[in-house]
Amino acid sequence: MNQRLRFFSFILLVSILVAPQARSDEGMWIPMLLKKYNISDMQAKGFKLTAEDVYSINQASLKDAIVIFGGGCTGELISPDGLLITNHHCGYGAIQRHSTVENDYLTNGFWAMSRDEELPNAGLRVTFLVRMEDVTDDVLKGVTDEMTEGDRSKILGQNMNQIRNEAINGTHYTARVASFFSGNQYFMFIYEDYRDVRLVGAPPSAIGKFGGETDNWMWPRHTGDFSLFRIYANKDNQPADYSPDNVPYSPKKFLPISVEGVDKGDFTMVFGYPGRTSEYAPASRIQDQISNTIPVMIDLRTKRLNIILAAMEISPKIRIQYSAKKSGIANSWKKNQGILRGLKRLDAVNKKLAFEEDFTNWVNQDSKRKLKYGHILNTYASITEAQSPFAVASTYANEAGRAPEIISLAGRYKSLLTLLESKADKDAIQKTVDGLLRTAERHFKDYHGPTDQKILAAMYEAWANGADPEFQPDLLREVKLKYKGDFKAYAADVFDSSIFASKEKLTKFLTRVKGSSAMKLSRDPAYKMSQGLSSLIRDKITPGLATGRGQLPVLDRLYMAAQMEMDKDKLFYPDANFTLRISYGKVDDFIPRDGIKYKHYSTLKGIVEKDNPNIYDYRVPQKLKDLYKKSDFGIYGKNGEMPVCFIASNHTSGGNSGSPVINADGHLIGINFDRNWEGTMSDTMYDPEMCRNISIDIRYALFIIDKFAGAGHLIKEMQLMGAE
């Protein structure tokens, strides 16, 4: 074991043995290590299960009911027949792909009343964690403190490949080796993918996306953000591609569902796959985001969203085409506004600077520490300063340059032009053309040319006027001069002459490709701009962002180790990296501002109060209003109310969408789907007074399935706890 690894192992051991008596609800914890780190604290807060009940490789445990859904969300099994629940917004793409004007499942919802009606989803998969393993010793085998970072990376890569290959050889599993604590520790994750996942049920968007982008990231919330899928397997319960002969998957574990509800102070646990956090970042990095990149992104997305939202009011077809796109753009747009506001409210930069002053004083107290750690903060600041203009340029290039779909589509045709110019054989050209035809078919299904034309004009005007000319494509500067700043005229000319402006033009071009087509493609205005954008990113922005990048892994690793050495009494948790984590807290209200206090739950009454037939996102279905009027809540209501959502103090992040919220008995009580706007900065700095995760109360989901949709056969699959 090398010196650094011995040191880090010692720090971990000290952290475990000298863990503080009281902690906030901050933290995303490794399930495999609950017994060492967290279980006593969890049980002191009311949890009634053991660490082995949560994570085990020797028996069925809660982790066997949790899946990665679609590569970016979490889902969980809720029946012995492979029934799975996740968020509506996680299943949104699948729901949209099945939707047409004639069968508008986004607007009307979808409910399979038999297994035969469940809809397959090409390319959708769910992933189970088979096991995880600490492989730090094996990954760092042969690594020394004296070697260069390049040599270190080479050895790490070789070691990780060997570890993965040995772990899954002869199996159908996949493996991932992930870095923790900035490369001070490594875990291997063995996964099993199931590829036949069928849509079972989804509420109408008036329920599943109630409140739309206006309510997104906000509390109180009244969104029924859930959808149902079923995993299918072959007759041996093994993963298989879609086949009518497949049968519902039989899980090792599924979650019992509590209908007893939640009260303030109740223990809650979120089990899922948080995406990315940077809790230990230096002040210089946070300051750059606050001052530069985040404001630019917000401004550009505001402009694009205004265009899309106006277009979606034109017709149902456009609304369907742009629903998923709009949601994807708006989600991070609003989140980043909350982050910016939250970091400023917390005075995050000055808090980090105060910590760094203490850190520097601690480093300077010892000559060996000063030699090892003394350069870290200044080097971070120098790298951030050097990278900053390129980071802003990258934001413009991606948020404005790539925003028009006509430009992104044209950028895919470089390979065809290369084949045509090199006079490749006809078979190679035809194979490429066939692939591009399929891409075009998918592209134009969800595309509206006049809307994209407006986006092109607005985004390129903002890019030309906002970005440093040094970081603009030459062609963009030429266009600004040629059209005297009139980007509407430029966009009109592009859409008038480009082969990428419509399905008809592009299909005609592709079906008649010949040698002379190379000139037409190379002169196409959309293609030319796409290549200018690619050149800018490749030749200027990417090299600029790489300034000092080789130093960052070393800095991150040293800084993390130094922080843990400095504060031996603190129990550190690793930043999120889309691996399975536990967070735990309690149901709680919060006070966002003076004189305002939000209670911990919302009800159907709030939905009816927000009803507005003139606004798409607030059109409450008549049947839901009728159920409310009659108080027809079945076993799912409580004290004459129908609970809808609740908040708790669990530390969550992107990727936790769809994660189960589990009570002290290990029963499902909610589906996590959001955070409050005041707490979105928790990816960088957690505030226990403000940070809340928002979940749909599972009773509301059951109510919608049973009373609203009339799909009681699905309820019969589930194990309800507390039902009379």
Q: Does the residue 428 lie in any domain? A: yes
* 24 carries an active-site annotation: no
pLDDT in tens, 407-440: 999 999 999 999 999 988 889 999 999 999 999 9
Q: Smallest Cα–Cα separation from 526: which of 425, 443, 631?
A: 443
Q: Does the residue 465 lie in any domain? A: yes
The Cα 9–Cα 596 span in angstroms is: 46
Exactly one of 182, 284, 530, 657 is catalytic; name it: 657
Check: CB of residue 39 under 8 Å from CB of residue 171.
Answer: no
The Cα 252–Cα 244 span in angstroms is: 23
Give me the pLDDT at residue 501, please.
97
Dmax (CA) for the chain in angstroms is 76
Q: What is the DSSP letter of 659?
A: P
Q: Does the residue 302 lie in any domain? A: yes
Per the document, the length of the chain is 724
The Cα 16–Cα 614 span in angstroms is: 57
Q: Smallest Cα–Cα separation from 531: which of 458, 479, 476, 490?
A: 476
The Cα 262–Cα 240 span in angstroms is: 39
3-state secondary structure 198-267: EEEEECCHHHHCCCHHHHCCCCCCCCCCCEEEEEEECCCCCCCCCCCCCEECCCCCCCCEECCCCCCCCE
Name 148's Cβ contacts closer than 8 Å, sequence gap at least 6.
Answer: none
Number of domains in the chain: 1
Q: How many CA atoms lie within 13 A of 685 on its CB side?
A: 23
Counting Cβ atoms within 10 Å, is residue 228 exposed (0-12), middle (13-18) or buried (19+)?
A: buried
Q: Does the residue 579 lie in any domain? A: no
Name 595's Cβ contacts closer than 8 Å, sequence gap at least 6.
Answer: none
Q: What is the DSSP letter of 397?
A: I
Give me the pLDDT at residue 323, please.
85
Exactly one of 41, 81, 225, 706 is catalytic; name it: 225
Q: Does the residue 202 lie in any domain? A: no
3-state secondary structure 471-496: HCCHHHHHHHHHCCCCHHHHHHHHHH
Give me the pLDDT at residue 724, please.
66
Check: CB of residue 604 under 8 Å from CB of residue 623.
Answer: no
Amino acid at 194: Y
Give me the pLDDT at residue 18, please.
38
The Cα 312–Cα 304 span in angstroms is: 13
**For residue 613, cis peptide bond before it (omega within 30 degrees of 0):** no
Sign of CA dihedral 193, 110, 641, 605: positive
Structural domain containing residue 449 = 283-551
Name 520's Cβ contacts closer than 8 Å, sequence gap at least 6.
Answer: 499, 509
Check: CB of residue 493 under 8 Å from CB of residue 525.
Answer: yes
Q: Does the residue 606 lie in any domain? A: no
pLDDT in tens, 263-304: 999 999 999 999 999 999 999 999 999 999 999 999 999 999
Could you give phi then psi for residue 532, rounded to 5 degrees? -65, -40
H/E stretch holding 188 reads strand 185-194
Angle at 352 between CA 558 and CA 562, to 5 degrees: 20
Counting Cβ atoms within 10 Å, is residue 238 exposed (0-12), middle (13-18) or buried (19+)?
A: exposed
Exactly one of 89, 448, 651, 667 is catalytic; name it: 89
Amino acid at 599: K
* 657 carries an active-site annotation: yes
Tokens of 348: 């995050």
**Exposed e or buried b per residue across 136-158, where buried means at least 16 C-beta atoms within 10 angstroms of its C-beta:** bebbbbebeeeeeeeebeebbee
Pairing of strands 257-258, 720-721: parallel
Query: How far, CA to CA in Å, does 411 sit from each of 450, 459, 476, 513?
Result: 20, 17, 16, 17
Give me the pLDDT at residue 596, please.
93
Q: Does the residue 720 lie in any domain? A: no
The Cα 583–Cα 26 span in angstroms is: 8
Neighbours of 712 (CB within 10 A): 12
Q: Does the residue 651 lie in any domain? A: no
For the CA atoms of 147, 151, 152, 158, the dihedral, rounded to the nearest 10 degrees, stands at -140
The series of mean pLDDT values per 10 residues for the chain, 724 residues long, is: 46 41 75 95 97 96 98 97 97 92 92 98 97 97 91 96 97 98 97 98 96 91 98 98 98 98 97 97 96 96 96 91 88 92 96 98 97 97 96 97 97 94 90 95 94 98 96 96 97 98 96 88 96 96 89 94 94 96 97 93 98 90 98 96 98 96 98 96 95 98 98 98 82
Sign of CA dihedral 41, 45, 48, 54: negative
The Cα 687–Cα 681 span in angstroms is: 8
Tokens of 684: 């960088």
* 530 carries an active-site annotation: no
The Cα 57–Cα 529 span in angstroms is: 53
